[in-house]
Amino acid sequence: MNGAEVNQNHGSGGNWIAFVFGAVFNLLGNVNLAFLIDYALQAVVGGIICLAFKVLGDVLSPLWERHKEKVKDFAKMKRIRGIKIGKKKRHDQE
């Protein structure tokens, strides 16, 4: 093996980093930064609102289930403190 056949790949590992940084900075020159900031702000606010609804739903869901059970139990009752619940008879139906 002579010296001409030696691999000449000495610094190519770092060339892709320079290419990526060059491409990113080239793209950033053409991008409206105010639009990106506005879009990021909208995304953050939308995420906060979505998270608030999720937490609110997680908190209110057990309360709603308990309320539905109470209403279901109330509907099954025939008497409440001695008062009969049912259809009222009209005078002409006796």
- Please tell me the distance from the alpha carbon of residue 28 to that of residue 53, in angstroms, as a whole number: 35
Instruction: Give yes or no for a contact between 15 and 23, defined as CB atoms under 8 angstroms apart.
Output: no
What are the structural domain ranges in the chain?
A: 32-81
DSSP-derived secondary structure letter, 14: T
How many residues belong to the chain? 94
DSSP-derived secondary structure letter, 47: H
pTM for the model = 0.43
Give the pairing of strands 79-80 and 83-84: antiparallel
Which pLDDT tens digits describe the chain residue by residue (94 residues)?
Answer: 555 555 555 555 668 888 888 888 888 778 788 888 999 999 999 999 999 999 999 988 888 888 888 887 777 765 555 566 666 666 665 5
Instruction: Give yes or no for a contact between 79 and 85, defined as CB atoms under 8 angstroms apart.
Output: yes
Rounded to 5 degrees, φ, ψ at 79 are -130, 140
Instruction: Give yes or no for a contact between 17 and 23, defined as CB atoms under 8 angstroms apart.
Output: no
